[in-house]
Structures are given as C-alpha cells and as structure tokens.
C-alpha cells in the first residue's frame, strides 16, 4: 500500500436489530459478535474484543496497559463504570526520584522504566465479566476467541502492518519484542502472525482469573524486566492492584446526556468541551468545519484541557471540584475567554488506545477503552487535534478535506497550523466506533417513521475495523 492512503471508497452504516459490535479490527468485531450469539451480553463481548485486539493490534493496546469500562443496564437504566488504571510502584516516592537527581524540570524520560505503572487492563477484563457479564459464559469461554487467534495465527491487517513497522525500532531499542516480530521484522499486510506467549497468558487468565497475571509466573517476569531496566516495581505492587467501581459523571448537550468516567479518567475534558461549545449556538449557521467553527472548537478544547490537566489526579489523594467544573455557569465564564484574537494556553499528551462498543439484544450497552498510553510504554513488557509546544503555542493539525482557506484563516487568527495531514498520519485524529439506537440525528425523520429498536453502527475508516450486527435473534 502506498503512503498516500487515499480513502476512495465508501461504507454504508451497519443497520441491525439484535446486537451489534464495532471495533478497529474485523477479526475482533467477529469474535465479539460470536460471544453475543453464544449467549453473552455486551460486557462479555467487550472483554472478548479487548482480548482479540490485544492479539491483532499490539501497537495500540494490550495486557500491559489500562482499561476503562462504561456499562448501561438495559433493564434498570443504571450506568456503572470500572476504572482499572494502574498505579505507580510504592517505592517510587518523591524522595527516591530526587535522590536519583530528578526534578520537576528534569523528570525521567517518558520511556524510562520508572514510568511504568501497574497494568490494570486484565483486572478490568476479569471484573467486567464478573460484575457486569451475563454469567452464561465463563471468562475462559469469553477469552477463547483471542486465545485461538494467538495460537493459530491471523493475517495482519493493512493499516496495522504500517503502524507495526513504525513500532519496530522502539521494540529493538527496548531490547525486547522479538516475540512481536517474524524473523526480526514487523509482519507485513496479509502475513500470518502467531503469538504463543500471549496465547499462554490469556489461557491461564481464563483458567485462574486475576492471580494468573498479578501473581506467579507473569508477575515475576514483569517485575524482573522492569527492575533490570532501572524500575522499582515489586510483586506486592502487582498483587495489590484492583479495579475501582466508580459512579460516572455526565453533562447534557443539546438534549443528549453524555456520560464519562470520573477522574483520574480524562473523560472530564470531553464534558467540559461540550459545556463550553454550548455557549456558541450561532456556530451551526457558520457551517461545519468553517474557520469560525474550527477556531471556537480549538479554543474550547484548549480551555477544557487546561482545566482538566490542572485538576485531574487520583481522587483518593486530591480534591477535584467536579460539581463546580461541570456547572453550566462555570462553562459560560470560560466561554467568555474565547474571541477571534485571543488564545488561551493549555497542555495535551499523546497516547495509543483502542475504543470499541457493544450493544446486545437485551439493550445492554458497553463502552470500552483499552490503552497502552504510549506505544513504547509496554514494550519492555484521537478531523482536528492540537498539541502543546514548550514555547506555549499549540499546533493545530488539520486533516485533508478541511479547506485550505480555513487553514489560512486560522493562521491569520494566530494559530500554528499543520495542513493538510494525509495518508497514514491521519490515524493521529483517532479511530472512533459508534452504535446508535435509531437515526435520531436525522432531522427529516420523526420518531414514528422508523422503529427506535434499529441499531445504526459504523467504524472509523482510519483503522482496519468494521461494525457487525445481527438481525436474527440467534442467541443460544
């Protein structure tokens, strides 16, 4: 495949009735749908997809990262959350870091073994099945599809092969990663890749649950490799990890209630952005992706991230004024800072993450994030976005398809702009998945025209994935 990566085809939305999945890998979507057909619910299918993505897309996700789950109960309407982000080792104190010569101005490299936290992903998988699953399928049955992919092998997808190749040097620099190569090279598109080590770990996880990863053979291997590279993680750090069941936070935007996990999750930034954007109803008349629209959106994201990164932290150690931050009056004050000639500085970090979603025939829904944070973070084991420069200025990246005049106008208003971002670099804008109940966004369709039980789904074309659904109630 050439570097241009032109998107010359189109895909219709997937419309179905009795369950739907959407992820960044077709094989993972197929495994998730299979779990639904075998009697599992949305939570079971989400974990099956997470495990399958760990096999098929290791440059984005895996057992070395963290995971976050939002679950909607179709019978009660209750929304529950699981936060399984890992903590730093207990020995990694400020005194220790200062003793090593590190300061706030001179911190360890982001790739330093000292920055490796306890991976929470697999604990989240186990807890999601136990607390939110159907209990019709065991964890072993839920993970069986991913185990087979890893054991038997799978043909690597096109976009994944490209990112895998870019990941190769990081693995070599870490002195590890041979198990993620074929004869020392990243697998090419269509080449069958097997991962016997991961298959063994997933199989043991299915048989023994969390102790298979956080104690014993795997835990010792994690501690050994981190300590060999200068880290301070211990077996106790791993064995004491547990997920947190949390109460999601929300805001209402144009009549739609949006839910996110509370801090330390960065979901707060999305809610703050929407609250700020709500103060600009005139933007609709300006046109989607117009220069006015893009300018206000960039500034809203900037302000929201400034607040989020100022307050985000471990809620067990810091007080986060969520009620104040999510108050509509506060967002109105923040919106007053946005003008055509003033920029507000902020911060942003980069990560490598997969997002996927599931909806089952019982109207349960599961929204799931499985993250490595950064590609290299675990190697020893999101149309527009902006990032921050040390000098205090943001770079606004604009994807091809945004009019050149818009880019030039944003520059005139003082933005630092990178346009057009094309080819494989488009993946930096995120790879979203969506499942909607009814086409409620279509203003020409009234609720009585089409039954709201119809599911509409799609997968971002910047990834290899797809949405899959079923119109026959074939659950066993």
Q: Are the CB atoms for 372 and 62 separated by under 8 Å? A: yes
pLDDT of residue 348: 47
Is there a domain that residue 36 lies in? yes
Give the confidence band of 381 by pLDDT, cuts at 50, 70, 90: very low
What mean pLDDT do residues 36-41 have?
96
Give the confidence band of 393 by pLDDT, cuts at 50, 70, 90: low
Which residue matches tokens 């299915």?
206
Is there a domain that residue 229 lies in? yes
Query: Is position 117 annotated as part of the catalytic site?
Result: no
Number of domains in the chain: 1
Q: At what angle do helices 328-335 and 291-311 cross, to 10 degrees?
A: 120
Instruction: Name the nearest CA neighbour of 165 among 180, 148, 149.
Output: 180
Instruction: Name the nearest CA neighbour of 469 among 357, 367, 369, 368.
Output: 357
Active-site position among 3, 319, 353, 446:
353
What mean pLDDT do residues 255-264 have?
94
pLDDT of 2 over the 70 cut: no
- Residue with the bigger pLDDT between 128 and 178: it is 128
Is there a domain that residue 385 lies in? no
pLDDT of 375 over the 70 cut: no
Q: For residue 449, give the 3-state DSSP assignment.
A: coil
What mean pLDDT do residues 340-367 have?
73
pLDDT of residue 318: 87
Instruction: Name the nearest CA neighbour of 387 among 289, 274, 272, 309.
Output: 309
Structure tokens at 433: 């998945």
Give the confidence band of 388 by pLDDT, cuts at 50, 70, 90: very low
Lowest mean pLDDT among 156-170, 265-279, 337-351: 337-351
What mean pLDDT do residues 367-382 have?
57
Is there a domain that residue 100 lies in? yes
What domain range is 111 assigned to? 27-245+359-378
pLDDT of 210 over the 50 cut: yes
Is there a domain that residue 326 lies in? no
**Parallel, antiparallel, or unpaired: how do β-strands 394-399 and 416-421 relate?**
parallel
**Average of per-residue pLDDT values in the chain:** 88
Q: Are the CB atoms for 47 and 71 separated by under 8 Å? A: no
Task: Read off the pLDDT of residues 435-456 as tens digits, 9 standing for 90 and up.
Answer: 998 877 777 766 555 557 889 9
Most confident residue range from 86-100, 332-346, 425-439 = 86-100
pLDDT of 389 over the 60 cut: no
Lowest mean pLDDT among 23-27, 158-162, 169-173, 245-249: 169-173
pLDDT of 96 over the 90 cut: yes
pLDDT of residue 449: 58
For residue 435, the cross-strand partners are 457
Is there a domain that residue 337 lies in? no
Percent of the chain with pLDDT over 90: 68
Cα angle, residue 316 at apex, residues 262 and 132 outer, rounded to 5°: 50
Q: 118-140 burial, b for 16+ CB within 10 Å, e for fewer? A: bbbbbbbbbbbbeebbbeebebb
pLDDT of residue 1: 41
- Residue with the bigger pLDDT between 326 and 18: it is 326
Q: Helix H segments across 181-266?
A: 196-208, 211-214, 216-228, 235-239
pLDDT of 400 over the 80 cut: yes
Q: For residue 313, give the 3-state DSSP assignment.
A: coil
pLDDT of 79 over the 80 cut: yes
Give the confidence band of 11 by pLDDT, cuts at 50, 70, 90: confident
Percent of the chain with pLDDT over 70: 87
Q: At what angle do helices 139-152 and 26-37 cross, to 10 degrees?
A: 150
Q: Are the CB atoms for 225 and 174 separated by under 8 Å? A: no
What mean pLDDT do residues 330-341 have?
88
- Residue with the bigger pLDDT between 430 and 242: it is 242
What mean pLDDT do residues 247-253 have?
97
Which residue matches tokens 């010359």?
8
* 171 burial via Cβ count (<10 Å: 0-12, 13-18, 19+): buried
Is there a domain that residue 213 lies in? yes
Give the confidence band of 462 by pLDDT, cuts at 50, 70, 90: confident
pLDDT of residue 320: 92
pLDDT of 16 over the 80 cut: yes
Report how far residue 46's alpha carbon sits from residue 356's, in angstroms, rounded to the nearest whole number.
8
Give the confidence band of 377 by pLDDT, cuts at 50, 70, 90: very low
Lowest mean pLDDT among 77-81, 298-302, 322-326: 298-302
Instruction: Name the nearest CA neighbour of 425 among 405, 397, 403, 386.
Output: 397
Report how far residue 262's alpha carbon sits from residue 306's, in angstroms, rounded to the nearest whole number.
17
Give the confidence band of 8 by pLDDT, cuts at 50, 70, 90: low
Is there a domain that residue 276 lies in? no
Report how far residue 413's alpha carbon sits from residue 410's, in angstroms, rounded to the nearest whole number.
5
Question: Residue 93: how many CB atoms within 10 A of its CB?
Answer: 12
pLDDT of 196 over the 80 cut: yes
pLDDT of residue 271: 97
């Amino acid at each position: 495949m050439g570097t241009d990566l032109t998107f010359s085809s189109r895909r219709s939305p997937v419309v179905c009735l009795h369950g739907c999945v959407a992820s960044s890998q077709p094989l993972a979507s197929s495994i998730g749908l299979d779990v639904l057909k075998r009697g599992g619910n949305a939570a079971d299918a989400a974990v099956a997809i997470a495990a399958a993505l760990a096999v098929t897309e290791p440059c984005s996700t895996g057992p070395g990262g963290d995971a976050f789950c939002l679950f909607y109960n179709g019978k009660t309407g209750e929304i529950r959350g699981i936060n399984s982000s890992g903590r730093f080792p207990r020995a990694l104190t400020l005194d220790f870091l200062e003793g090593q010569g590190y300061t706030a101005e001179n911190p360890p490299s982001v790739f330093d073994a000292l920055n490796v936290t306890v991976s929470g992903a697999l604990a989240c998988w186990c807890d999601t099945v136990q607390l939110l699953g159907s209990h019709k399928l065991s964890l072993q049955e839920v993970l069986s599809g991913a185990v087979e992919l890893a054991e038997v092998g799978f043909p690597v997808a096109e976009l994944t092969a490209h990112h895998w190749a870019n990941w190769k040097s990081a693995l070599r620099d870490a002195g590890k990663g041979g198990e993620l190569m074929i004869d020392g090279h990243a697998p090419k598109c269509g080449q069958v890749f097997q991962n016997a080590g991961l298959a063994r770990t997933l199989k043991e996880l299915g048989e023994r649950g969390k102790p298979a990863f956080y104690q014993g053979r795997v835990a010792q291997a994690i501690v050994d490799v981190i300590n060999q590279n200068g880290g301070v993680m211990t077996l106790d750090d791993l064995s004491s990890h547990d997920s947190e069941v949390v109460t999601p936070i929300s805001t209402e935007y144009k009549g739609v209630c949006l839910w996110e996990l509370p801090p330390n999750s960065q979901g707060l930034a999305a809610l703050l952005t929407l609250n700020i954007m709500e103060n600009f109803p005139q933007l609709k008349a300006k046109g989607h992706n117009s220069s006015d629209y893009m300018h206000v959106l960039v500034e809203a994201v900037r302000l929201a991230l400034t607040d989020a990164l100022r307050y985000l932290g471990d809620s067990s150690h810091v007080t986060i004024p969520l009620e104040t931050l999510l108050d509509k009056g506060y967002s109105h004050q923040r919106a007053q800072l946005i003008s055509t000639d003033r920029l507000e500085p902020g911060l942003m970090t980069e990560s490598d993450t997969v997002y996927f979603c599931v909806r089952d025939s019982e109207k349960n829904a599961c929204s799931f994030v499985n993250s490595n944070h950064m590609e290299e973070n675990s190697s020893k084991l999101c149309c527009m976005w902006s990032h921050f420069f040390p000098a205090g200025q943001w770079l606004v990246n604009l994807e091809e398809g945004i009019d050149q005049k818009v880019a030039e106008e944003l520059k005139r208003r003082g933005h630092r702009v990178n346009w057009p971002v094309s080819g494989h670099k488009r993946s930096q804008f995120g790879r979203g998945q969506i499942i909607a109940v009814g086409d409620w966004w279509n203003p020409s369709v009234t609720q009585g025209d089409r039954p709201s039980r119809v599911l509409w789904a799609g997968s971002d074309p910047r990834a290899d994935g797809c949405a899959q659904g079923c119109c026959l109630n074939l659950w066993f």
